[in-house]
Amino acid sequence: MRITFCGTGTKADPWVDALRAELPHASVTEWKPGDPPADHAVVWSPPQQFIDEQPALKGIFNIGAGVDALLKLRIPADVMIVRIDDGGMAAQMAEFVVHAITRHVRELDRYEEDIRRGAWEFRKPRPREEFPVGVMGLGVLGKRVAQAVAQFDYPVLGWSRTPKDVAGVRSFTGPGQFDDFLRATRILVCLLPLTDETRDVMNTRTLSLLQPGGYVINVARGAHLVDEDLIALLDSGHLAGAALDVFRTEPLPAGHPFWKHPKITITPHTSARTLRDESVMQIARKLRAFERGEPIAGVVDRLRGY
């Protein structure tokens, strides 16, 4: 079995070494233009040239959960695209979102401001039931986040394209229940895949449906959010704030209003990072199963976009 690794902006050697250790009977190399064809590829944001020069590929294994960059390429229809199910990201994502919710509801950001100016003040605790949390997207990451938030006794709602049954989560399904989901939500967490249907999903109309004093947490993709619509709703007072980890252009350009907006907290796309060892073990397991002709999880439906 011949495996080639192509990761734009990613150091190849650690991935190649780990794959070789996990798949000792396979030939694993870093892709160079002009290389001979491989059977499978392990990738992150490969260029079109890579796809064009690898006509024998049977499977492309993405080292992240998001495949929007891959689906922009011209990939033959008979090549299977497989995404990471977790790769150690679910626990990190849950941790990040719970922290963002806690910081907002407990007003820890306000306490930080008080301490900086030397003020010793208390604020009245705010009941959790007044902050229903709506999670958009109940895949592997979304489900883990929703369950983690529920452990802190927040009312938790979930919205997904297809029906999902998650313990402790009130589920909404499909376009017909989307507005009802938003109206029942005060803290909105976006964990949707980026598709043509979900691009710009957080806009003036949808965010206006959130309960007054709403809060937005985006840990999915920057293109889910219309930047200027968020700022307008923050400035109007309908939204109380936002925690943003992903952006339309990354790194976030100097001078972008998000940098200095007093109601926005930004982080540099670090809510959940792929853990290499866990990801390699998962990819190796899937590769072995694929070669045996067994079904594997994480196969991308190109029509749905994830």
For the annotated catalytic residues, the residue numbers are 221, 269
Q: Please enumerate in sequence order all residues whose Cβ is within 8 A of that of 247, keeping only pairs 6 or more positions apart, or say none.
A: 222, 256, 258, 266, 269
Cα gap 288→63, rounded to integer Å: 16
The contacts of residue 285 (CB under 8 Å, 6+ apart) are none
The alpha carbon of residue 54 and the mean position of all alpha carbons in its chain are separated, in whole angstroms, by 28
Mapped onto helix, strand or coil, the DSSP state of residue 156 is strand
**Which neighbouring-strand residues pair with 189?**
135, 217
Phi, psi of 204 (to 5 degrees): -55, -45
Can you read off the two tokens belonging to residue 290?
A: 């694929």
Report which of 28, 140, 44 is spatially closest to residue 87, judged by C-alpha positions: 140
| Residue 93, number of CB atoms within 10 A of its CB | 26
Helix runs in 9-137, H state only: 12-22, 48-52, 89-105, 108-116
Residue 90, SS3? helix
Q: Give the dihedral sign, CA 110/112/116/118.
A: positive
DSSP 3-state assignment of 6? strand
